[in-house]
Amino acid sequence: MNEVKREQEARESLEREFDDAEKTHESELRHERRVREDKDSALRSVLDDLSRMQSLLSQRESDLEAVQNALRDMEQRSKELGETHTTAWFSLQLEVDRLKRDVDWLEDELGRARRDLGDREGKTRDREDLIHTLQLEVQQLTTHTQARLSLSEKLDSTQNSFRTSEAELFGYLTKVNELETRL
């Protein structure tokens, strides 16, 4: 009887542990989802920044091309007119140099943004792998718990059968005692 009680207490303890593990796992999953949503939001922000930088880079490149075309036109007109516009050419050249520096800076920013994006994607993959591993562990825990519940049911059935047999034996012993008393 004590053994049955201990088995039942052990089973109840295991069920509580399983419930606690399941709650902890669900909490961790919610936390991971929130972290993943935060990462996704940050990723979208970086992608938006990247898009803006690419747009700015395109604009700077078209500005650079326009300035270079204007510079060529000015040089051609200067040659045709026989005049030298050294000052204008020099300031345009300075503007071209400034635009080239801006383009280089934007390309560096674009490279950094791409590296950040790659890092974030790697972290997201790592978190997804962790979630998958946790899900597999929960499935294993569920399988073990179901097996234990099945064994517990078999034990209960066997104990009930044993009690029935014990009651029958007690009845037979009572009859034997009566018969011996009669004899």
CA–CA distance, 49 with 53 (Å, rounded to integer): 6
The pLDDT score that the predictor gives to residue 84 is: 54
Average pLDDT over residues 10-22: 87
Confidence band, pLDDT 50/70/90 cuts, at residue 82 = low
Average pLDDT over residues 116-140: 86
The pLDDT score that the predictor gives to residue 12 is: 87
- Domain residue ranges in the chain: 2-151
* Reported pTM: 0.34
Task: Give domain 2-151's CATH number out of 1.10.287.1490, 1.10.1060.10, 1.10.260.40, 3.30.470.10.
Answer: 1.10.287.1490
Q: Token digits for 33?
A: 């989802």
- Say how many residues make up the chain: 183
Tens digit of pLDDT for each residue in 118-129? 888 888 888 888
Average pLDDT over residues 34-44: 89
Confidence band, pLDDT 50/70/90 cuts, at residue 31 = very high
The pLDDT score that the predictor gives to residue 90 is: 80
The pLDDT score that the predictor gives to residue 86 is: 67
Asked if the model's pLDDT at residue 96 lies above 80, the reply is yes
Tell me which amino acid residue 2 is. Answer: N
120-129 contacts: CB < 8 A, separation 24 or more? 120/39, 120/42, 120/43, 120/46, 121/43, 123/39, 124/36, 124/39, 124/40, 124/43, 127/32, 127/35, 127/36, 127/39, 128/36
The pLDDT score that the predictor gives to residue 85 is: 60
